[in-house]
Structure 1
Amino acid sequence: MSDPSSSPASVSDRSDRICIIGAGPAGLSIARALKRLGLPYDQYERHSDLGGLWDPSNPGTPVYRNAHFISSRNTSGYYDYPMPKEFPDYPHNRDILAYTQMFARSFGLRDAIRFNTPVAKVEQDGALWRVQLGDGQVLRYRAVVCCSGTNWDPNLPRHPGEFSGEIRHSVTYKDPAEFRGKRVLVVGAGNSGADIACDAAANAERAFISMRRGYHIIPKHLFGMPVDEFAEKGPALPMWLERPVFGLLLRWFVGDTSRWGLPKPDHKLFESHPLLNTQLLHYLQHGDIRVKGDIERFDGQDVVFKDGSREPIDLVLYATGYNMSMPYLAADYFEWHGGRPELYLRTFNRKHHNLFALGLLETNSSAYTLFDRISHLLAHYLLDEVRNPQRAAAFEQLIRDDHTDLGGGLKFVNSNRHQGYIEIHAFRKHLEKVRKQIGWEPLAPGYFKPIEVAPAQLAPPAVTP
């Protein structure tokens, strides 16, 4: 905690307002919720436009030319603002950016955003928060909502030995043409790693993927319907029944993937984020990509694997995820476990009053509507601090004491990524329980009212991949 007496002489008093850091998907969600309730706020975005990671011109974005949503169009939009039916089942990154821009225009969110304005530091100042901008300006706010994203600070492992080829993290990868004429090893088999490995299989001289463990592979469509939409529209089953039923469907539609060199999963279905990528199976079936185990070391041009095999490689691309970072905050403002902040409902800080982080979560579903459900509670809490302190205090008691398991009874694999992982149905159920317990109004169709916008203004922006 900083000493308020050391504050700069010139501090702009914005203590009746809320500061939002970031104008990506999460930042726009909380901005809409605050605006609906008439809560004044300022929003800061370091880039020249909104959209967060989905804007390919945003420095540090992990988006590559062929990146698509892994959740489907009809399950992925903001609450009560569906994606256009003209979009494909699994929208391309340019579609997602266009949709995000349309959303901001429809609810009049752009005017409150200060673009090209990074936040350099956030410090506690008594009951308030002091925010220093990149240009040195300092402002004092009653609350700060951190929405600066998760996929920009690369986690780059280190393996022993000297390597004569090129080593990069997948955050630097943009176009399949980068692979031409090269022997490429993609390390990591998350959904981005699998996608990039498919780009390598189609473009590189030779392509390999290194996997520490096996994963359950789920097709993007079941019975002609996007798989997440199929799961949402089907009957709600208890996990003890849902897992064997879905497992049976996978055996029918996918089969035994170990036939093509993939390791068998070391966990049950849903205990880790599954791979939604049957294209990877296509390339494995045709020999265009080979599966390797974990890396042991580098040896000149060769990568040596733990099974003793080796391959000459030109490019090692680590698709090994990201660190959750908020560089403008001292680390001890949050409690951290496995590189993830420990937050009530994955947003509310148990240690420090009115410092929040929206969007720092891992789940088995789409995020936009989930952001809206959390933003709904957050906005009402901030309103109650002013208009209904007794109800705000009741919620603060939950922040301190409620440690409900949000994993839906699943035992997730022991990895940093799965620290704080949430099962979407259990999480939604608990959000609704908390809302009713505190007495806040429900989120219902028609809750948000778009402003009137001329059709020409809703046209998706021109985006160059």
Structure 2
Amino acid sequence: MTNSTNDEGGRICIVGAGPAGLSAARALKRLGLPYDHYERHSDVGGIWDLDNPGTPMYESAHFISSRKTSGFFDFPMPDTYPDYPSNHQILKYTREFAQTYGLRAAIRFNCAVSRVERAGDTWKVTLADGASHRYRGVICATGVTWSPRSPAHPGQFGGEIRHSSTYRDPAEFRGKRVLVVGLGNSGADIACDAAANAEAAFVSVRRGYHVIPKHLFGIPSDELGSRGPDLPTRVMRPLMQSLLRVVLGDLTRYGLPKPDHKLFESHPLMNSQLLHYLQHGDIAVRPDIASLDGDRVHFTDGGTEKIDLVLYATGYDWSIPYMDEKYFQWRDGRPDLYLSTFNRDCRNVIGLGYLEINSSAYTVFDHVSNVVAQYLHDQQHAPGRAATFDRLIASDRPDLSGGIDFLKSARHSSYVDARAYRRYLAAVRTCMGWHDLAPGMFDALRTTANKEAVST
């Protein structure tokens, strides 16, 4: 252990080697920006590695967005992958990405960052072993699904209560009467696992959800949407609602509440299995929990069920545990970041992945990382242009909703529409004179990484 601080000069620190951190590393490496990369786990992959302590991933999890609309820029998923790849395939793909671009060599594995604090115009990064380093910038890429949120209900429960982050295998449900609380995409997946494996499966919901099957006309739903023209929401919404009424019918028939919001105003359920189990009575819908009493769960409609396991699929609190909240403007549990990325108060504190978006995140990470890298490059090579961007960070507050009136909740305060986000990002690049991503842009990195791999 040491108390001295190493001055890393003009280097950048990246915290986290999941998809966002790897995207940032590739962007910095392309522009020749020196960086150090820290990962607390023993390998890359972030939440997609089931061996990563605290990951919310489970054995049956698949990508919500489809193969052709997802993935890193200019690095498509293999054609042999299914329309919706499994978590094991996504992990393999992510690790191949790191290997292809030679990103692993710069990562210090089993090396957690315990604290980041201001040190004049730089940032002091302290590691778990006590060593500290000073950097000109820090990219926080540690994700938003590491602090489980569980509600508190009155009464005492004699069975088992857990958060869905602890769930791994459908075998855990065998012989049990299971209640899944919450019907986001993970909650719906887990409820389906319970339907197929538990003695009885129930799901408790407080509001209705719009459901979009993963395939429409035999084509992945998001791929079908991306093929068409960029229609405004006022046109797209009624078209999609009419199509869903024809394909799915009235979902309240199966006990699901009628949604209290319009389509697209919250992330829809991308699930086809759920309707199958509801139609066959293998999942029963219940309202919110009123109280717990021994082995009974009482609901707000006066009903009650004997339950062995209550599993809260109730989301996560956002946090950056290695940075004091004073360095961010936190609002409703979300950091106020320009373009959901750049800290408005603290220069060169960058949050990559701190957003909710209605389309593939991987490609979005790459587009944002490209801007991050060019901004950091300009600080040393075109300081006047970097100063112009500093002013944008401080004052520009664009509407990234795409005309969608997202639900008024803490979760949706950070929601952005993917098409609106990418359009505005393109406008910023044009204004700043920065380059857009282009096919072949990273070929030199691939070639270099391949040569290094052959030489070793």
Report the TM-score when normalising by structure 2: 0.97
Given that 1:160 and 1:298 are in contact with CA atoms closer than 8 Å, whether structure 2 keeps it comes out as: yes
AA in 1 matched with 2:417: E
Tell me the residue number matched to 1:463: none
Cα offset, 1:24, TM superposition: 0.2
Tell me the residue number matched to 2:75: 81
- State whether structure 2 residue 425 is matched by structure 1 residue 438: no
- State whether structure 2 residue 9 is matched by structure 1 residue 15: yes
- State whether structure 2 residue 369 is matched by structure 1 residue 375: yes
Tell me the residue number matched to 1:4: none
| Residues 185-218 of structure 1, C-alpha deviations (whole Å, 9 max, x = no match) | 0000000000000000000001000011000000
Given that 2:56 and 2:146 are in contact with CA atoms closer than 8 Å, whether structure 1 keeps it comes out as: yes
- State whether structure 2 residue 230 is matched by structure 1 residue 222: no
Given that 1:150 and 1:360 are in contact with CA atoms closer than 8 Å, whether structure 2 keeps it comes out as: yes
Within 5 Å, give how 1:132-281 maps onto structure 2.
132-281=126-275
Percent identity of the aligned residues? 61
The CA distance in 1 between the partners of 2:47 and 2:306, in whole Å, is 33
Within 5 Å, give how 1:445-456 maps onto structure 2.
445-449=439-443, 450-452=445-447
AA in 2 matched with 1:155: R
Cα offset, 1:109, TM superposition: 0.1
Cα offset, 1:336, TM superposition: 1.1
Specify which of 402, 406, 422 is matched with residue 400 of structure 2.
Answer: 406
Given that 2:100 and 2:450 are in contact with CA atoms closer than 8 Å, whether structure 1 keeps it comes out as: no
| Residues 110-154 of structure 1, C-alpha deviations (whole Å, 9 max, x = no match) | 000000000010000000000000000010000000001111210
AA in 2 matched with 1:195: D
Given that 2:328 and 2:345 are in contact with CA atoms closer than 8 Å, whether structure 1 keeps it comes out as: yes
**Alignment gaps of 5+ in structure 1:** 1-7, 459-465
3-state SS in 1 of match to 2:269 = coil
The CA distance in 2 between the partners of 1:9 and 1:171, in whole Å, is 36
The CA distance in 2 between the partners of 1:372 and 1:325, in whole Å, is 22
**Alignment gaps of 5+ in structure 2:** none
Tell me the residue number matched to 1:387: 381
Specify which of 43, 46, 50 is matched with residue 52 of structure 1.
Answer: 46
Cα offset, 1:413, TM superposition: 1.1
Specify which of 261, 268, 292 is matched with residue 286 of structure 2.
Answer: 292
Given that 2:47 and 2:56 are in contact with CA atoms closer than 8 Å, whether structure 1 keeps it comes out as: yes
Given that 2:3 and 2:131 are in contact with CA atoms closer than 8 Å, whether structure 1 keeps it comes out as: no
The CA distance in 2 between the partners of 1:255 and 1:236, in whole Å, is 26
The CA distance in 1 between the partners of 2:417 and 2:194, in whole Å, is 32
Tell me the residue number matched to 1:418: 412
AA in 2 matched with 1:151: T
3-state SS in 2 of match to 1:235 = coil
Cα offset, 1:15, TM superposition: 2.3
Cα distance change of structure 1 residues 9 and 277 upon mapping to structure 2, 3 Å threshold: closer
- State whether structure 2 residue 338 is matched by structure 1 residue 344: yes
Specify which of 58, 61, 83 is matched with residue 64 of structure 1.
Answer: 58
The CA distance in 1 between the partners of 2:433 and 2:146, in whole Å, is 37
Given that 1:15 and 1:128 are in contact with CA atoms closer than 8 Å, whether structure 2 keeps it comes out as: no
Tell me the residue number matched to 1:357: 351
The CA distance in 1 between the partners of 2:14 and 2:87, in whole Å, is 24
The CA distance in 1 between the partners of 2:109 and 2:7, in whole Å, is 20
Cα offset, 1:9, TM superposition: 5.7
